[in-house]
Structure 1
């Protein structure tokens, strides 16, 4: 579905991603891991098109279709192709209602005039009860649910979540894990998480890509995340 090869990225003179390779297989959940500041969000933003890359390739391929060079496709077009994105800052419209937020997302996805599908409220039943509430009046938990619902209402084939557990409670993380398992295992949605919460990673992900200072230092099946690997690359002492 998505293949990155030798991706390099710079912020000014700072080299932030170094020859990163990554493959996303349809129907799987992959986690990009690493401590804060190691390049997870930068990599996600390169995939969504919100940051340019200096060199390398990012290729999207649908079943029975030729490969497509994503570097020639802008962020809006990438979203319309089926790449859904939930950023850290959620980006909901705080002065619009839940329902209005979802309608705007549908319009942006090319579905004008359509009613919000019941499947969205089946995934987020709490939002149905709050559908007339403004985004600003929602709790942090419900704001994140709305951000996810906005990404899912266009029926993407790949959903990317950037640091979904950051600053969240254990109760929220447990609920998020159940939702991600449902999206992936029951609905077949391909997932990419930029995340460092190990219990969530072990619960929902099939594969991992571990970044350290912008370099892909380890990747493989999640069951390969042993104590030695984690202590070596996920120790806070490495952040300095």
Structure 2
């Protein structure tokens, strides 16, 4: 579903990503791991079009995508849940979900029933302002908003950060459910090792803006991964 080749990104005069090659397949969770500041979030920004890449190729579903801005990538089927959630605090839960309609034809502009089945609290709090929700509830809202767009590729940046354990478990179940549908590739940036290891089918470990280790769960031992991400 997703393939990057030689993906490079700069912030001003500083090079942040150094030729990233990555593949994420439909029906799999691809986890990007590494310590703080190695370029994981920048990688998701480059893929989502939030920050334009300097060089390299991005392919979605076998088709090369040029330097398309974020809204164009969303229309191409990329759902992005950024670090920090970035929900609209003054809009209600319902209105936050409806912002995802912009990517859809008018005939599909409805909140699917599965959203409220996966995140019952969003139905209960539909008329509450986003800013009044707890951190865990806001994270559920951010994931649900991305799902509204019917993405083929879902990018999740640190979805467990600052979240209480019961919500982390629920988010894990949602990711499992989405993978089981087999029609979506999921790229997960995550520092909570046990959560990431339990979900991932494929791993990429980054250091200083480059991939230093990659492979499937069958190819890489847990100890090898733990060592790589703790260096």
C-alpha distance in 2 between matches for 1:24 and 1:187: 12
* Residue of structure 1 in register with 2:39 after alignment: 39
C-alpha distance in 2 between matches for 1:187 and 1:96: 33
Q: 1:230 aligns with which of 193, 214, 226?
A: 226
* SS at 1:128 equivalent: helix
* Shift in Å, 1:186: 4.2
C-alpha distance in 1 between matches for 2:143 and 2:116: 12
* Residue of structure 1 in register with 2:66 after alignment: 71
TM-score computed with the length of structure 1 as normaliser? 0.89
* Shift in Å, 1:155: 1.1
Q: 1:133 aligns with which of 123, 128, 135?
A: 128
Task: Note if contact 2:152-2:184 (Cα within 8 Å) is conserved in structure 1.
Answer: yes
Task: Note if contact 2:33-2:40 (Cα within 8 Å) is conserved in structure 1.
Answer: yes
> Aligned-pair RMSD on alpha carbons?
1.7
C-alpha distance in 2 between matches for 1:52 and 1:104: 23
* Residue of structure 2 in register with 1:109 after alignment: 103
Q: 1:200 aligns with which of 191, 195, 200?
A: 195
* Residue of structure 2 in register with 1:157 after alignment: 152
C-alpha distance in 2 between matches for 1:5 and 1:32: 16
1:190-224 alpha-carbon deviations (Å, 9 max, x no partner): 21101121111121110011000111000001241
Greater than 6 Å deviation, 4+ residue runs: none
Q: 1:185 aligns with which of 174, 180, 191?
A: 180
Out of 207-216 and 179-188, give the one that drifted further.
179-188
* Shift in Å, 1:119: 1.9
* SS at 2:104 equivalent: coil
* Shift in Å, 1:151: 0.4
* Residue of structure 2 in register with 1:50 after alignment: 50
TM-score computed with the length of structure 2 as normaliser? 0.92
* Shift in Å, 1:96: 1.3
C-alpha distance in 2 between matches for 1:125 and 1:189: 22
Are 1:210 and 2:210 matched, yes or no?
Answer: no
* Shift in Å, 1:55: 1.7
Task: Note if contact 2:52-2:67 (Cα within 8 Å) is conserved in structure 1.
Answer: no
* Residues 228, 208 of structure 1: alpha-carbon distance in 2 compared, 3 angstrom cutoff: closer
C-alpha distance in 2 between matches for 1:199 and 1:40: 18
Structure 1's unaligned 5+ residue stretches are 62-66
